[in-house]
Each structure stands twice: as structure tokens, then as C-alpha cells.
Amino acid sequence: MDVKPVTEIKTKPVPTLPDAQTVTEVEHYTDRLFRFRCSRPQSLRFRSGEFVMIGLMGDNGKPLLRAYSIASPSWDEELEFYSIKVPDGPLTSKLQHIKAGDEIILRPKPVGTLVLDALLPGKRLWFFATGTGIAPFASLMRDPDTFERYEEVIMMHTCRDVAELEYGRHLVESLPDDPLIGEFIGDKLKYYPTTTREAFPRQGRITDNLASGKVFADLGLGIDKLDPATDRGMICGSLAFNLDMKEILEGWGLNEGANSEPAEYVVEKAFVD
Ligand code: A2P
């Protein structure tokens, strides 16, 4: 009798979305802010500080994508994102409801100028962020390369309220004990959080605290401005913030750099829906 070999049909889970990644964790901080983690495509390589397009399938069957800075370090096996929630925002009004197990779309093509390679070598690196603009720095602060290249790293972050600082505060406080990055950081990282609309030990806009020299005095740096010979800056916030920061840094003689032409500072707009 003829016995036909049985062909085993292997079933592979087929992603329901193109470039689908699975959400693994979601944490809400306020009614305006949340963070989530998702699986990472095996092929995705990125430089700390870069962003990718992520999103969900829109009601019209077309992907609804926005630029999001990757907040996790390049050595992390998952990806982390930090997002605002805009009630009428086409994407974030939906994205804020994701939960572990859901799928998001992620285009694995990282780009961006907030990368160490776009800066000339220096001694002190400044991160200037408002709101969710801290996301690329959450990646850079967990990158050993940041602390190998600079003697000192200063993270300035300003939000309206204390609760909005929580993501950054928790991250910065956890770094010295981090088994992977802790030893690189030592005492090199200085954190300068401020609020503008709620009482907090340190208050005021980053721009005002730089222009008045308050931050230099508070941190005991013994300087009254950034020096283009030694200081490097990375800016990420709203358009108005970025423009005001550029004016301050250019006034001190720092020039804007790019991947193709490294200089003294780089800037990128934080994602806003
Ligand atoms: P302020 O409360 O004085 O407007 P938002 O939540 O609107 O994105 O703002 C985040 C933080 O950025 C707030 O603390 C806000 O201060 C501050 N901010 C907004 N615009 C500027 C700017 N042009 N320069 C400096 N800080 C700014």
C-alpha cells in the first residue's frame, strides 16, 4: 500500500499589522503622560537619541504614525517610549489606551540628530528638555558611551508640575544602582529638574535659569555661561523652547551640529500630537 508522507504544516503566528510589535508594559504617570515598552525587531539597530515612526492602524485602514524618540538604551532587548496624551490627538487619543499584549506598528528606520556623533568632542555635556523631550535623553543617559566621552553630564528638565517630572526622576535615581550602566556614571551625572507651575525646591524655565546663571551657581560649577571650547548641548522640547535655547547657546558662541558636520550643540523637536 502506498503511504504518502505526512507533510507537517507549521503554523507561525502571523502579525495582524505590518511591522507589528507587541506591547509588554504600560505605566501612566499623569492624565497627560505615560510610558510603554514593546518588543524590539531583531534587526533594529539604533544610536541613542534617535527616533522611529510608531503608531496604530487608523480607522480608515491606513497606518497612523508619528515620530517617537526611543527612550531605551541600545543594549536593551525591548524598546521604551514616553508619550504625551492629547485628548483630540489623532494618534495619542488612541495610543493612551494600549495595554500589554496589544500590537503597535513600528517602522524600524531610526534617524535623528540628537546623537553623540553630531557633537565635537568636549568635556561637559548638557541635556536640555521640557516635557516629553526627556525621552531621547532617557536613552543617552543609559548609554555607557555618553559617560566615556564626557567628564560631566548635566540633565536639565522642566515641566509644569511635580508629577510630570516623575518619569525622569525615577530613571535618574535608578541609574547609579543599575548593574550595566551604574559603574560608568559614577558621580558624572548631575540632575537639575524644575517646575514652572507648582511649588518645588527648584523652579523656573531652563532658559531663565541659564540666563540668570542660577543653575551654574546651584550646581557649584564656577562658570557663568557655556563655553564653546568645552561645553556641548543637546536640546529637545517644544518649538518655542528649542528656538529660545538656540538663541542662548548661539549667543555664547556654540554652533549647531549635524550628523554630517558635528559642532557644539544639536536640537530636535519633541513629539507633539
Ligand atoms: P511654562 O509653564 O512657563 O509655560 P508644556 O507642558 O506646555 O509642553 O511645557 C513644558 C515646560 O516647558 C513648562 O514648564 C513650560 O513652562 C516650559 N516652556 C514652554 N515654553 C518654553 C520656552 N519657550 N522656553 C522655556 N521653557 C518653556
Tell me how far apart the alpha carbons of residues 198 and 174 are, in angstroms, rounded to a whole number.
24
Region 256-261: mean pLDDT is 96
Q: Do 251 and 190 lie in a common domain?
A: yes
CATH label of the domain that carries residue 148: 3.40.50.80
Q: Do 136 and 208 lie in a common domain?
A: yes
Q: Which atom number of ligand 1 is nearest to the Cα of residue 158?
A: 14
Q: How far is the CA of 172 from the centre of ligand 1 (A)?
A: 21
What tens digit of pLDDT does each residue of 22-48 get? 999 999 999 999 999 999 998 899 999
pLDDT of residue 11: 57
Cα–Cα distances (Å) from 1 to 4, 17, in that order, read: 10, 46
Region 99-114: mean pLDDT is 96
Q: Which of 106, 15, 35 is nearest to 65 (CA)?
A: 106
CATH label of the domain that carries residue 51: 2.40.30.10
Tell me how far apart the alpha carbons of residues 56 and 114 are, in angstroms, rounded to a whole number.
25
- The number of folded domains in the chain is 2
Q: Do 32 and 91 lie in a common domain?
A: yes
Residue 205 Cβ < 6 Å to ligand 1 = yes
Percent of the chain topping pLDDT 90:
86
Q: How far is the CA of 70 from the centre of ligand 1 (A)?
A: 22
Q: Do 228 and 126 lie in a common domain?
A: yes
Q: Do 175 and 216 lie in a common domain?
A: yes
The answer to whether 132 and 84 are in contact (CB under 8 A) is yes
Tell me how far apart the alpha carbons of residues 31 and 189 are, in angstroms, rounded to a whole number.
29
Please state whether the predicted TM-score (pTM) of the whole model is above 0.85.
Answer: yes
Residue 46 forms part of a structural domain = yes
Highest mean pLDDT among 3-7, 9-13, 91-95: 91-95
Q: What is the DSSP string of 140-194?
A: HTT-HHHHHH-SEEEEEEEESSGGGGHHHHHHHHHGGG-TTTHHHHTT-EEEEEE
Domain termination site, one of 46, 78, 111: 111
